[in-house]
């Protein structure tokens, strides 16, 4: 039985990391719902191009700042009704290139965001990740699974940053009664992803459109569960609109191997690219699929865009950006 989600009476929102892929979609959706939005981003991995189409809209304000800096709070006067804390390098290429900044935003950045929430009496939602489960020994992954994470591996700067941020949010809820929650996101994809950020969907699409070899790590048997950005945004805002304090998985439930994903992207783009196998990264998870029972049964959320349809939309986006039309682009 679904728990009725109240329509939030939000007037003003802060989205940290708002110029990133997912953050920009959240800013847009909030504006469409007549919520004023402050978009805070230091542009380490985000791009102002992602929100350029929002700059002239009433109620939108871009603030270039690092939420982990001591002076960040002074640049964000609020008051806010909801704070979506999405600031963090999310792709392997970014967090491996900026390990200390990744740890800083998960620790000091989260503490500053919590301080803003306490100042304004705002609801805060932390964007966590399926990476907190590491290379999971339980499948699919439920929210009560503690994970299998290498704390000193190359991916640990991202994994442990998010795990610490979750602990920090939980401690503030228990100690100060902060209205805060946690959403664990699984493999979101869609328009505005960067072409070469190290994640499989944009990498495979851009390689296929260019006719280059599509590089599959290892034998490609590792799995991922893709969730189109519109569905993720809906899930995030659904969790934000509740007073839930427990972590909630938001992600697709159609599990696909990386090799099959590469084959289908080649087919959908009409590309002549061949698959090339490369060395698999250290600590790369073997299987990844969320158990979304909590989101579905308690909140009434479930993904609605089939992943093949979402992939076609994403191909169209990259084809329009690169000027390289695909044989399958535009097909529905």
The catalytic residues are 158
Largest CA distance in the chain: 58
Angle made by CA atoms 236, 240, 243, in degrees to the nearest 5: 140
Pairing of strands 223-225, 255-257: antiparallel
Buried b (16+ CB within 10 A) or exposed e, 176-215: eebbbbbbbbbbbbbbbbbeebbbbbbbbbbbbbeeeebb
212: tokens are 């280059």
| 103 within 8 A of 34, measured Cβ to Cβ | no
Instruction: Please name the residues in contact with 49: beta carbons below 8 A apart, sequence gap of 6 or more.
Output: none
Write the burial class of residue 245 (CB in 10 Å: 0-12 exposed, 13-18 middle, 19+ buried): middle
């Amino acid at each position: 039985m679904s728990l009725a989600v109240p329509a939030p009476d939000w007037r003003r929102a802060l989205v940290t990391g708002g110029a990133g892929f997912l953050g920009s979609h959240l800013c847009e959706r909030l504006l469409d719902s007549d919520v004023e939005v402050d978009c805070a981003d230091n542009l380490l991995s985000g791009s102002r191009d992602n929100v350029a189409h929002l700059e002239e809209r009433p109620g939108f304000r871009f603030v270039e700042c690092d939420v982990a800096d001591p002076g960040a709070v002074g640049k964000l006067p609020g008051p806010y009704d909801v704070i979506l804390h999405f600031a963090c390098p999310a792709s392997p290429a970014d967090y491996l290139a900026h390990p200390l900044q990744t740890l800083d935003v998960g620790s000091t950045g989260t503490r500053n965001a919590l301080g803003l929430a306490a100042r304004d009496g705002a609801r805060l939602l932390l964007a966590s990740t399926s990476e907190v489960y590491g290379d999971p020994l339980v499948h699919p992954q439920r929210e009560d699974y503690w994970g299998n994470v290498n704390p000193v591996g190359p991916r640990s700067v991202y994994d442990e940053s998010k795990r610490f941020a979750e602990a920090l949010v939980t401690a503030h809820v228990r100690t100060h009664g902060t209205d805060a929650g946690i959403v664990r996101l699984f493999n979101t994809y869609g328009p505005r992803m960067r072409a070469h950020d190290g994640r499989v969907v944009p990498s495979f699409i851009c390689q296929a459109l260019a006719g280059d070899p599509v590089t599959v790590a290892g034998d490609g048997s590792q799995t991922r569960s893709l969730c189109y950005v519109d569905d993720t945004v809906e899930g995030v805002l659904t969790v934000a609109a509740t007073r839930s304090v427990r972590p909630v998985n938001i992600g697709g439930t159609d599990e696909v191997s990386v090799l099959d994903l590469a084959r289908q992207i080649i087919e959908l783009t009409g590309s002549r690219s061949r698959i090339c196998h490369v060395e698999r990264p250290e600590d790369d998870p073997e299987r990844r699929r969320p158990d979304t029972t909590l989101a579905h049964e308690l909140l009434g959320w479930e993904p609605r865009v089939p992943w093949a349809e979402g992939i076609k939309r994403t191909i169209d986006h990259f084809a329009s950006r690169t000027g390289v039309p695909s044989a399958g682009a535009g097909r529905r």
